[in-house]
Structure 1
Amino acid sequence: MKDLIEMSKNFIATEKNPDGLEQLKEVVVVVLVVVVVVVVVVVVVVVVVVVVVVVVVGGGGVLLVVVVVVVVVVVVVVVVVVVVVEVVVLVVTVVVVGVVLVVVVLVVVVVE
């Protein structure tokens, strides 16, 4: 319990301290940049593989290209959705933990 009180006091200090919030923002920005880079790399790799397959198979048709394009689009959408959900969960978790810690500290202070 003492550890929890200590953590919550530290968190409240962070909340009052803009530098702590700035660091949090920087972390979120870095995460987003990494995610965007990963998505771009995945898309480029998939497109290159598709082009190579089409060239090697030899103009095997429009159908193959359509299927490949659909697969690429689905993969990109799934990756983006997963990443957005993860970021939202991360932010919500930070906020909820902060609120809970503040409440715990208030209760502890009142009880003491």
Structure 2
Amino acid sequence: MSDKALTSDELLTALVTAMTALREVEGDMNLSKAQTLLHVYLQPGIAQMDVPTVVDTSNPAATRNVQDWALLNRKSQPGRGFIRQVQDPENRKRYLLSPTSKGQDFLRKMTARVNEALSKRA
């Protein structure tokens, strides 16, 4: 990673490019749902109970967001498959979250798009 800080234009280009990629997954995606995926990617193994705090949302909203990204959604139908929920072996009431290979692939592609958009501005 470069030691050079992004300019405001570069930061905005990166944000718009990333938001566009997320909106291609779900056209009306809200910010907390996007943040949920990004936090799970940045903190693999995060406890689901910690998501409301790091995303600054309610418990029900955080649960919905996780389930929408998970292998199975809240209606026990196939979800997006970007997040894996695993019961914590040390505490059966907790679920640990990590990105699936599909989620990691999506985030790698989103990062590549951001880098490409930034390189075009250079």
> Structure 2 length normalisation: TM-score?
0.33
Name the structure with the higher helix share.
Answer: 1
Name the structure with the higher strand share.
Answer: 2
> Structure 1 length normalisation: TM-score?
0.35
